[in-house]
Amino acid sequence: MKQNIADLIDQINNEKITVKVFETTMAKLKKDVAKTMQPLYDFVSDQIGKNQLGGAQLLVGEALAIRVETNVVNLPLDEPARIEKFMSDEEEAGVNVYLVAVGEKVNQSGLRIDVVANADEFHEHLTNYETEMNDWVQAKIDAVEGNTED
């Protein structure tokens, strides 16, 4: 899956990227990370299957937000100016799936973002990435609860 950079910035600025929001408590997330996160993974995979960018966000009380999102660069979708600046020389780029954690106790910056896979691989082989993603989420829970930097 490829994405025109100008179109991406336009989609972000005009709120044309579908983002589905879920909510839970830290206790429920800790009890079963895989079950809680699966709808987010499935939603993003479905968006990719429709050849659309998308994201899913899990609000965990006030302590943490976990996002699964598609993008062309290792930056949050809610920062279009930074994406545009970083990708200004590119006309088109491959789309990847990223895991994003936001919360003041996640780390010193309050933000952690890591690439999972390119969008097509994620969509075609989602089950191959689930354990790795769930482990990543668990590490962010541990960081928030222990207030230790990841």
pLDDT in tens, 25-73: 999 999 999 999 999 999 999 999 999 999 999 999 888 999 999 999 9
How crowded is residue 146: how many other Cβ atoms within 10 Å of its Cβ?
A: 9
Residues 110-115: what's their mean pLDDT? 95
Q: What is the DSSP letter of 15?
A: T
Q: How far apart are CA 6 and CA 80, in angstroms?
A: 10
Q: Under a CB-based contact definition with an 8 Å cutoff, are residues 111 and 76 in contact? A: yes
- Residue 89: pLDDT band (50, 70, 90) is confident
Stated pTM of the model: 0.92
Predicted local distance difference test score (pLDDT) of residue 117: 98
Q: What is the DSSP letter of 34?
A: H
pLDDT > 70 in the chain, percent = 97
Rg of the chain, C-alpha, whole Å: 15
Helix (H, G, I), strand (E, B) or coil at 43: helix
Which pLDDT does position 140 carry in this prediction? Answer: 94
Quote the tokens at residue 110. Answer: 């309050």
| Coil, helix or strand at residue 24 | strand
